[in-house]
Amino acid sequence: MKNNSASASGQPIRASEALRKKLAKLGLRSSVDLVVHLPLRYEDETRITLIAKAPSGVPVQVEATVVSSEIQFRPRRQLVVWVEDESGQLCMRFFNFYPNQRATLVPGACIRFFGEIRDGFFGAEMVHPRFAKASAETPLPQTLTPVYPTTAGVAQSALRKLIVQAIETADLQETLPPELDAALSLPSFAEAVRVLHFPPAGATQEALEARTHPAWQRVKFEEVLAQQFSLRRAYLARRQRGAPALRCKGELAHRLLAALPFALTGAQTRASNEIVADLAQPYPMQRLLQGDVGSGKTIVAALAACHAIEACWQAALMAPTEILAEQHYQKLRGWLEPLGVNVLWLAGSLKASQKKEQQAKAAAGAQLIVGTHALIQEGVDFAKLGLAIVDEQHRFGVQQRLALRQKGGNPHQLMMSATPIPRTLAMSYYADLDVSVLDELPPGRTPVRTRLVSVGRRGEVISFLERQAAENRQAYWVCPLIEESEALQLQTALETYEQLQTELPQCRIGLVHGRLKTDEKQATMAAFLAGEIDVLVATTVIEVGVDVPNASLMVIEHAERFGLSQLHQLRGRVGRGSESSDCVLLYAQPLSQLARQRLKIIFENTDGFEIARQDLQLRGPGEFIGSRQSGVPLLRYADLEADADLVEKARILAEQLLREAPERVERHLARWLGGREELLKS
């Protein structure tokens, strides 16, 4: 098996040290890496076009004799070469050139040039064409020429040579069992890569560049299959890792439920049961609790913490912002301290001495620790961490989530998110997660009315605010997002705060932004919660998680600048009480096409899943999830949306092969991931 996988991942590339370094930049280390380094596109050098007949703007090949060649210095140093064939003349222009290139382009030489003709200042010309010496007898290539992704210092011709060698020497045998392979009705792996690297005579550029070509289908399927193997293996590896089996009678959770002013929704009960069942297992839970904003994830997390605590282990909850972490802390304290649980606060803004003290308590076994990134910093050690909860998990990078897990050996992990992951992404990027979904909002919520209002009608919004405040209803006013500059964003928030004070003299207006000191933020949020502030002017610091049920109006200024998930999150801050709520999206013209589409989507949809699905369509999975967040390098050839059917097939096959033919899995992974599988585990 060792030998097999070694040969499947190929021999090291035979090239100079310098070239190998450059190839490594392209991820090319072995012969097999070269085999799966596939062309971006193709060029047609099988034909010669007459200069007079050559269309401009598309790649063409001409064969011509050099008439003159000179270096000009104005406007900048360049080599200008005039050539002619039987039909006419053409100018070739080079801004960078080597002496040996110049030596080739001497008057009288017969040269083949490949490039695009464009209309320059002095007539038709080619800038930086590829060229090679030829004679009337030099045969034309019979097939299309592949063009590979490359990097500085690695010429296409060098890559082609290496790939030809690699195809000859590498092991191209199927990794799939013959009967399964046949069922795919696709060309074999060997056939597919041969077709793509060495197009057969007569194959058209169009057919080969279409990713629906059977050869591409084969390659994409193999790639997706490798990803599925890898994710599935990570899943199985996790089951091998030990974790404390958190078993208890559930008395603490029971007492918490009895003390709550509400009953759980069906979805909350279901999710909670799934979590409790996982916690009782001797391997670490890795579960995502996914629920739209306001679906009540916090209480589910609290119940999970109760189980850990009753089983005599610690639980920790990490949130991405201090405002949110603070709010969790207050809420959890309110719920759990009366039941005798000690709840600890740990955030970056604590004074050094306080932090030390809290860290010491965490190390001594505090039962529930709530905080921000401070939880994963150095110096924090948990005595016995049984459960790590990460709220708004998509806000954290993979490394940060891993860090919390590593703090306490192998705790169970519960991640929470209101940003739903569309099904195709869930299948391929989060195959190692179990998912619980809260698909039901607590009763008594009234849907939020969304209004799109142009800034020209800001005055009407102000009057509306005034009437709302007169009825003791509270509002958020979110200031425009200014991506480029935090300072500018802050300035805008201050200006808005002052402006609203003059416009709404009757109202009590508050301000929160990221630069305030923690206790100032806390004081303002507490005042808002207590109803002592009517209008809270805020930057996006309130985007996630903040929960003030009496707030029933959300105004978002320059809504066209926000992303869809942000808008959805912000809108979710209202509609939490029994009053009917409004969300006013103030926008300024002109709207870009994309901004217009986003506003339309948010206006027409309230369901977070639908919004995420449309967001995915708008942006594509690359941006949606980013490899930083997923920890999984994006696929090179397959496209999750377009190739969802391949992902589905690969997923089923992956499970079967891992059971039935592990040695084939090894070979397949070696071929597709070489030594890079570690990257996929997280």
- 669 with 224: CB under 8 angstroms? no
545 is an interface residue for Mg ion by CB under 5 A:
yes
Cα end-to-end distance, the chain, whole Å: 26
547 is an interface residue for ligand ADP by CB under 6 A:
yes
- What is the chain's Cα-based Rg? 31
CA-to-CA separations, 12 to 17, 150, 172, 523, 670, in angstroms, rounded:
12, 19, 16, 63, 13
Closer of 111 and 293 to ligand ADP (Cβ): 293
442 is an interface residue for ligand ADP by CB under 6 A:
yes
514 is an interface residue for ligand ADP by CB under 6 A:
no
Neighbouring C-beta atoms of residue 128, cutoff 10 Å: 13
* Binding partner at 549 among ligand ADP, Mg ion, none, C-beta below 5 to 8 Å by kind: ligand ADP
CB of 576 to ligand ADP, least distance (A): 5
Q: Which residue in 298, 428, 450, 566 binds ligand ADP (CB under 6 A)?
A: 298
Tokens 């007492």 -> residue: 255
Tokens 């509306």 -> residue: 464
* Residue 645, Cβ density class (10 Å: 0-12 exposed, 13-18 middle, ≥19 buried): exposed
- Specify the stretch interacting with Mg ion by CB under 5 A; choose among 92-100, 395-403, 440-448, 544-552: 544-552
Query: Measured at the alpha carbon of residue 415, what is the angle toward residues 413 and 416, in degrees to the nearest 5?
Result: 155
Which sign does the torsion angle of CA 319, 322, 324, 325 carry? positive
- 218 with 192: CB under 8 angstroms? yes
- The SS3 assignment for 401 reads helix
CB of 40 to Mg ion, least distance (A): 44
Q: Which residue in 297, 394, 407, 513 binds ligand ADP (CB under 6 A)?
A: 297
Question: Mask 493-532, x = binds Mg ion (CB under 5 A)?
Answer: ----------------------------------------
CB of 522 to ligand ADP, least distance (A): 18
- 468 with 554: CB under 8 angstroms? no
CB of 536 to ligand ADP, least distance (A): 17
542 is an interface residue for ligand ADP by CB under 6 A:
no
Scanning residues 294 to 333, which ones bind Mg ion (CB under 5 A)? none
Tokens 């004679």 -> residue: 135
Scanning residues 100 to 139, which ones bind ligand ADP (CB under 6 A)? none
- 602 with 571: CB under 8 angstroms? yes
**What is the rounded CA–CA span in Å between residue 42 and residue 39?**
7
CB of 661 to ligand ADP, least distance (A): 43
- 124 with 56: CB under 8 angstroms? yes
- Specify the stretch interacting with Mg ion by CB under 5 A; choose among 379-387, 538-546, 568-576, 601-609: 538-546
- The secondary structure of the chain in percent helix, strand, coil, rounded to multiples of 5, reads 45, 20, 35
Q: Give the closest residue to 39 by CA, choosing from 267, 195, 168.
A: 195
Closer of 362 and 570 to ligand ADP (Cβ): 570
CB of 425 to ligand ADP, least distance (A): 20
177 is an interface residue for ligand ADP by CB under 6 A:
no
Closer of 545 and 631 to ligand ADP (Cβ): 545
Three-state SS across 537-558?
Answer: EECHHHCCCCCCCCEEEEEECC
Q: Which residue in 36, 293, 318, 346 binds ligand ADP (CB under 6 A)?
A: 293
294 is an interface residue for ligand ADP by CB under 6 A:
yes
CB of 679 to ligand ADP, least distance (A): 32
- 510 with 527: CB under 8 angstroms? yes
Chain CA centroid to CA 466, Å:
41
**What is the rounded CA–CA span in Å between residue 682 and residue 504?**
51
The residues, any chain, with a CB within 8 Å of residue 617's CB and separated by 6 or more, are 641
Tokens standing for residue 478: 């979110």
Closer of 172 and 544 to ligand ADP (Cβ): 544
CB of 288 to ligand ADP, least distance (A): 13
CB of 329 to Mg ion, least distance (A): 13
Chain CA centroid to CA 677, Å:
19
- Specify the stretch interacting with ligand ADP by CB under 6 A; choose among 61-69, 261-269, 476-484, 628-636: 261-269
* Binding partner at 390 among ligand ADP, Mg ion, none, C-beta below 5 to 8 Å by kind: none
Closer of 215 and 257 to ligand ADP (Cβ): 257
Tokens standing for residue 45: 């050098």
- Specify the stretch interacting with Mg ion by CB under 5 A; choose among 37-45, 65-73, 197-205, 545-553: 545-553
264 is an interface residue for ligand ADP by CB under 6 A:
yes
* Binding partner at 564 among ligand ADP, Mg ion, none, C-beta below 5 to 8 Å by kind: none
* Binding partner at 217 among Mg ion, ligand ADP, none, C-beta below 5 to 8 Å by kind: none
Which one-letter amino acid corresponds to residue 289? Answer: L
* Binding partner at 265 among Mg ion, ligand ADP, none, C-beta below 5 to 8 Å by kind: ligand ADP
Tokens standing for residue 170: 């590498």
* Binding partner at 95 among ligand ADP, Mg ion, none, C-beta below 5 to 8 Å by kind: none
Residue nearest to ligand ADP (CB): 296
C-alpha dihedral, 299 to 303 to 305 to 311, nearest 10°: 170
CB of 27 to ligand ADP, least distance (A): 40
Longest dimension (CA), the chain: 96
CB of 537 to ligand ADP, least distance (A): 22
* Binding partner at 420 among Mg ion, ligand ADP, none, C-beta below 5 to 8 Å by kind: none
- 441 with 294: CB under 8 angstroms? yes
**What is the rounded CA–CA span in Å between residue 302 and residue 335?**
9
* Binding partner at 522 among Mg ion, ligand ADP, none, C-beta below 5 to 8 Å by kind: none
Q: Which residue in 418, 537, 570, 670 binds ligand ADP (CB under 6 A)?
A: 418
Residue nearest to Mg ion (CB): 545
DSSP string, 626-643: HHHHH-SPPPSS--TTTT
Size of the site for ligand ADP (CB under 6 A): 18
CB of 291 to ligand ADP, least distance (A): 5
Question: Mask 568-607, x = binds ligand ADP (CB under 6 A)?
Answer: --------x-------------------------------
CA-to-CA separations, 139 to 46, 115, 545, 604, in angstroms, rounded:
9, 19, 69, 62
Residues found near Mg ion in the complex (CB under 5 A): 545
Residues found near ligand ADP in the complex (CB under 6 A): 262, 264-265, 268, 291, 293-299, 418, 442, 545, 547, 549, 576
